[in-house]
Amino acid sequence: MLGKKITSICCIGAGYVGGPTMAVIAQKCPHIRVNVVDVNPQRIADWNSDNLDELPIYEPGLADIVKSTRGKNLFFSTDVSKGIADAQMIFISVNTPTKTYGVGKGMAADLKYVELCARQIADEAKENKIVVEKSTLPVRTAQSIKTILEANSSDVKFQVLSNPEFLAEGTAVEDLLEPDRVLIGGDQDEDGLEAIELLSEVYANWVPRERIVQTKLWSSELSKLTANAFLAQRISSINSISALCEKTGADVDEIARAIGADSRIGSKFLKASVGFGGSCFQKDILNLVYLSHHFGLPEVADYWEQVIKINDYQKHRFSKQIIDALFNTVSGKKIAILGWAFKKDTNDTRESAAIYISGQLMQDQAEIHVYDPKVTKHQMIKDLVYAGYGNEESISEKLFVHEDAYSASDKAHAIAVITEWDEFKTLDWTTIYDRMLKPAFVFDGRNILDRSNLTEIGFDLRSIGKG
Contact 92, 13 (CB under 8 A): yes
First-to-last alpha carbon distance for the chain, in angstroms, is 35
Q: What contacts 155, CB < 8 A, 6 or more positions away?
A: none
Q: What is the CA radius of gyration of the chain?
A: 23
Contact 56, 16 (CB under 8 A): no
Instruction: Count other C-beta atoms under 10 Å from residue 249's C-beta.
Output: 6
Contact 286, 351 (CB under 8 A): no
For residue 400, what are the β-bridge partners? 369
Q: Is 246 considered catalytic here?
A: no
Instruction: Count other C-beta atoms under 10 Å from residue 452's C-beta.
Output: 7
Q: Is 165 considered catalytic here?
A: yes
Q: Is 221 considered catalytic here?
A: no
Question: Active site residue: 165, 221, 351, 420, which one?
Answer: 165
Question: Active site residue: 10, 11, 117, 280, which one?
Answer: 280
Question: Active site residue: 129, 224, 283, 343, which one?
Answer: 224
Which active-site residues does the annotation give?
165, 224, 280
